[in-house]
Structure 1
Amino acid sequence: MKKHKCGPRFKALLKEVNITPTAFAAFCNVEPQHVNNWYIRGVPYPRMDEIARLLSVNSLWLLNGEGPRHPGPGPGQLTDQTGNVFDAQETRGVYTVNIDSLDVEIPLYKEVPITAGASETEVVEIPGEFIRLPRSHLESLEVEPAQAICVPMVGDSMSEKIEDGSTLAIDRSLTQVVDGQIYALEHAGMLRIKYLHRLPSGALRLRSHNSNGYPDEIFSAKQIEEQNIEILGWVFWWSTLNKQRPPVPFS
């Protein structure tokens, strides 16, 4: 994430209302180290409005010092998600936060036929379908929410690492190959999840976790272009549902 100059203002605000980084981190459902990082890097842009509201200051003032400092409630106060005002020192440590406000809706993409009944496919966004992830997951890996998408895992090529039916989250801003990392690719319209390794002359090695069933594939730079192989982004999160509920003995 880009650094900006709101860190000192944010630090001064917490000091004014006598809230420690640990207490504020617990209130925001993030790690204390994130708050300490905000002192240096500044509050992340996606959370600027939220943090400004909690500290009862204008987000523009928090971002760059411009405009009026307080929109309504005075210093030394916090507001909850509905705008109710509380004294920060009296209520410190006993806040309850609507967890939905700390989540990010990430659009879902799937491999679908180009036209009804067609054998050719493409990877496209599915309108109205989203996966919710904790904002702290993205912030810990410096993934901008606007750059994140989710896709399903289809097949067993990555088992037992990523099981068939898992949902994966992709950082579309990270398409430069780091050897041995997992990436999502669109290969001639097919969605594929693979370990990638760079090879000389622009070639790529695609490797499956289930290497016994899926041997390595190597594509030259020419083949990458001819076969429309596009790196969609780096896989930074996945979920796996247990395939079978265990039987309970003596039930």
Structure 2
Amino acid sequence: MKKHKCGPRFKALLKEVNITPTAFAAFCNVEPQHVNNWYIRGVPYPRMDEIARLLSVNSLWLLNGEGPRHPGAGQLADQTGNVFDAQETRGVYTVNIDSLDVEIPLYKEVPITAGASETEVVEIPGEFIRLPRSHLESLEVEPAQAICVPMIGDSMSEKIEDGSTLAIDRSLTQVVDGQIYALEHAGMLRIKYLHRLPSGALRLRSHNSSGYPDEIFSAKQIEEQNIEILGWVFWWSTLNKRRPPVPFC
């Protein structure tokens, strides 16, 4: 198989955003070994545009390093709003970071009052997570409907690791079987696969099923226990838990 030169750029992009091959493979519905192969052989040509869009870069730049790295980076607008090619007229291009990224508010589970055992999920003032606008557009997520939350615990490992940040689409609360959702359960933030059951019941399933068995809640229990679907999980970050020790140092 002929190799092309985008492998190192692809690998560097995943490293920049702290996404592991396993996490990216799950997002693209491929095996982790495929992603590792792309490091060496490069991203397959049929998937170049798709992968470039997911990573918010131009496909030509990803392929061979030519042209601006970010979409729209080679254009500027004058005071009248006319758009022109900055590369051609000035020899440089300017990237408007604000137009490429979206600030998404961060929510966390916190005690209702200081020292209380009861909790609630609330917005943390002044804390945001920046995500590429293209990520949201590719999934038809309105920025105003997006929030971010932390992953607490290992119930979703090895899919989503403890401490990961997740992005939620608040507009999508209707359950699609087998999709991952964020829930507030009596003030507790939970991340689970959801499955609909007859009579309005729900099955909550963890990815780490050996340590967390399925939970089933009837419609009455959902109401009594204040179980609210916050939205669909459309993005998450995953970091390694520790830096590997370097031998012979």
Q: Is the 8 A contact 2:103 2:129 kept in 1?
A: yes
C-alpha change, 1:42 and 1:157, in structure 2 (3 Å) is closer
Task: Report percent identity of matched pairs.
Answer: 98
Q: Deviations over 1:178-221 (max 9, x none)?
A: 00000000000000000000000000000000000000000000
Q: 1:143-201 CA distances to partner (integer Å, 9 max, x unpaired)?
A: 00000000000000000000000000000000000000000000000000000000000
Shift of 1:112: 0.6
Larger radius of gyration: 1
Could you tell which deviates more after superposition, 171-180 or 92-101?
A: 92-101
The answer to whether the 8 A contact 1:123-1:189 is kept is yes
Shift in alpha-carbon separation, 1:49–1:97, aligned structure 2, 3 A: farther
2:48 — aligned with what?
48
Q: CA–CA distance in 1 between the matches of 2:33 and 2:179?
A: 25
Larger RCO: 1 or 2 (CA < 8 Å, sep 6+): 2
* SS across alignment from 2:115: coil
Task: Tell me, in whole angstroms, the C-alpha distance in 1 between the residues paired with 2:180 and 2:54.
Answer: 37
Do the aligned partners of 1:112 and 1:122 also contact (CA within 8 Å) in 2?
yes
Residues 117 and 198 (structure 1), Cα distance of their counterparts in 2 relative to 1, 3 Å cut: same
**Aligned partners of 1:19 and 1:87: how far apart in 2?**
33
SS at match of 1:236: strand
**Cα deviations by residue, 1:107-128 (Å, 9 ceiling, x for unpaired):** 0000011111111111000001
- 2:146–2:167 contact (8 Å) kept in structure 1: yes
Contact 2:194 2:202 survives alignment (8 Å):
yes
Compute the RMSD of aligned alpha carbons. Answer: 12.6
CA distance in 2, matches of 1:66, 1:247: 37
- Per-residue CA deviation, residues 62-85 of structure 1 (Å, 9 max, x unaligned), is 999999999xx9999941799897
Distance in 1 (alpha carbons) for counterparts of 2:38 and 2:197? 39
Partner of 2:89: 91
Contact kept, 8 Å, 2:183 with 2:231, in 1: the verdict is yes
Q: Counterparts of 1:233 and 1:48 in 2: how far apart (Å)?
A: 30
SS of the residue corresponding to residue 115 of structure 1 reads: coil
Gaps spanning 5+ residues in structure 1: where?
none
Q: Distance in 2 between matches of 1:51 and 1:13?
A: 11
| 2:61/2:67 contact within 8 Å kept | yes
Query: CA shift at 1:2, angstroms?
Result: 42
- TM-score for both structures, normalised by structure 1: 0.66
**Partners of 2:18 and 2:239 within 8 A in 1:** no
1:243–1:16 Cα change, 3 Å: closer
Instruction: Report Cα offsets for 1:92-143 as digits up to 9, x if no partner.
Output: 9963313343110000000011111111111000001100000000000000
2:116: which partner in 1?
118
Per-residue deviation at 1:246?
Answer: 1.6
> What is the rounded CA distance, in whole Å, between the counterparts of 2:123 and 2:65 in structure 1?
38
Deviation at 1:223, TM superposition (A): 0.4
Matched residue pairs, number?
A: 249
TM-score for both structures, normalised by structure 2: 0.66
Runs (5+) with no aligned partner, structure 2: none
d(CA) in 1 for partners of 2:244, 2:8: 53
- 2:121, 2:188 within 8 Å by CA — same for their partners in 1? yes
3-state DSSP of counterpart to 2:153: coil
**Which of 124, 127, 130 does residue 129 from structure 1 map onto?**
127
Q: After superposition, give the CA deviation of every residue in 1:20-48 in whole Å (9 maximum; x if it has no partner).
A: 99999999999999999999999999999
